[in-house]
Structure 1
Amino acid sequence: MAGSVSPAAAAGGGASPRIIPVWDPLVRLIHWSLALVILLNGFVSDPEGKLHETLGYVALALVLTRLCWGLIGARPARLISFPPAPARALRHLGALRSGDRTVHLSHNPLGALMVWNIWATVLLIVTTGIMMGSPRFFGVSWVEDMHEILFNWLLLSVILHIAGVVFDSLRSGVPLVRAMIDGRKRIPADRPIE
């Protein structure tokens, strides 16, 4: 019927989303590679085996590469774009409670804290793993316990990260998993961007 308007368009949902390049190929490769390494090391490799050790060094290389890229990469990937700022995260929580649907081009303040937490945890896991293989700390129970505690913390963090991605995707209307696959955020036309 000529001249008719769809209910979505009438409600303001008919405008095309803004498609903004955000995550470059290196960021995406590191993200998914680190996820795979964590899965393999946690659930597939023998904790006493060479593969486990090798994957630990791969995780170290991935995090260090990402940190270096955070100094020179594209703007959304830069570390200054998502500082670990607890005060900002608390303000963001308050904004969420009030129904704010602002989209962050990089990580939102809660996501930023989680990213830094995951990177730090991976670095600490690798450190305790290296310590466990050294003559000085081989067989030292607190190092082994810390390695395991840190891995359990990492698993909890990953679960919270995934839950946060699902929540923020639903809240903002931005398919965040897709953005981490193809590098582009599809932001609804009516959403403010920060």
Structure 2
Amino acid sequence: MTEAGGAPRVKVWDRFVRTYHWSQAALIAASWLTADDWKWAHERLGYLLAALLAARIAWGFVGPRNARFASFVRPPSEVFSYLGDVRHGHARRYLGHNPAGGAMIVALMTVIAATLLTGWLQTTDIFWGSEAMAELHEGLAVLILVLVAVHLFGVIADSFRHRENLVRAMIDGYRRS
């Protein structure tokens, strides 16, 4: 496959990763919209999101190369080194996720899992009606939005930096080689 300018494109993200990405975004948005007035829908969306997250975690161990955690989860030293390179204007381009993108995936998955857990805990006898658990759940949900904003900023910045439409790549799975 080639771009309009003739540059070859390669498949980077498989259908499951792309479907997971956009489904997760839709479920989180729907969860926000149903949080106050439609608790029954909010709970069901949470269970769907939990199943989706569990499937993605499994896929991170058995999926194709670029879907595997081993291909994009890097130690903090490498993430900070990459961010320093970005700041100095000489960050290298990665075909898959760069170290900061990998760290964002881990952060989002962790905060989403914690949000799901605190939501579920509110349905248990021990935390039923717990104001502290409700506040923690809401705080984590807000943190998801903060991380999404940082993620979007990174995607836009990387798209400009490397002159490549990363949103399109997460839709069709292809990037410039």
> What TM-score comes out, normalization by structure 2 length?
0.92
Change in CA separation of 1:129 and 1:93 when aligned onto 2, cut-off 3 Å: same
Q: Relative to structure 1, is the Cα distance of residues 47 and 113 closer, same or farther in structure 2, using a 3 angstrom cutoff?
A: farther
What is the 5 A alignment of 1:168-183?
Answer: 168-183=158-173
The code of the aligned residue for 2:72 comes to: F
Counterpart of 1:140 in structure 2 is 130
1:23 maps to 2:13: yes
CA contact (8 A) 2:34 2:41 kept: no
- Correspondent of 1:85 among 75, 91, 94: 75
Runs of 4 or more, structure 1, over 3 Å off, are: 44-48
1:182-193 equivalences under 5 Å are: 182-187=172-177
Q: Which amino acid aligns with 2:147?
A: S
Q: 2:82, 2:91 within 8 Å by CA — same for their partners in 1?
A: no
CA-based RMSD of the aligned residues comes to 1.7
* Structure 1 residue 172: Cα displacement: 1.1
Number of residue equivalences: 174
Q: Distance in 1 between matches of 2:37 and 2:105?
A: 25
Write the letter of the residue equivalent to 1:60. A
What whole-Å deviation, never above 9, does each CA across 1:60-84 have from its counterpart, x for those lacking one?
A: 1111111101111110110101114
Within 5 Å, give how 1:91-130 maps onto structure 2: 91-130=81-120
Aligned partner of 2:109: which letter?
Answer: W
2:133 and 2:38 map into 1 onto residues whose CA distance is: 15
Alignment of 1:69 onto 2:64:
no
- Per-residue CA deviation, residues 106-132 of structure 1 (Å, 9 max, x unaligned), is 211111111111101111011001110
> Which letter does structure 1 place at the counterpart of 2:107?
N
* Contact kept in structure 2, 1:63 and 1:119, CA below 8 Å: yes
Moved more, 79-88 or 124-133: 79-88
Specify which structure has the higher proportion of helix: 2
Amino acid at match of 1:110: A
CA distance in 2, matches of 1:82, 1:66: 14
* Structure 1: gaps (5+ residues): 1-13, 188-194
1:186: how far off? 2.2
Higher mean C-alpha deviation, range 167-176 or range 39-48: 39-48
Alpha-carbon separation, structure 2, partners of 1:174 and 1:38: 27
Which of these residues, 14, 33, 39, is aligned with residue 49 of structure 1? 39
Q: Tell me the CA shift for residue 139 of structure 1.
A: 1.0
Q: What is the deviation of 1:97?
A: 2.7
How far residue 166 of structure 1 moved from its aligned partner, in angstroms, is: 0.2
Q: Give percent identity, aligned residues only.
A: 36
The structural deviation recorded for 1:135 is 1.1
Give the C-alpha shift of residue 94 in structure 1.
1.9
What SS is found at the alignment partner of 2:10? strand
Per the alignment, do residues 134 and 56 of structure 1 end up closer, same or farther by CA in structure 2, a change over 3 Å counting?
A: same
SS at match of 1:170: helix
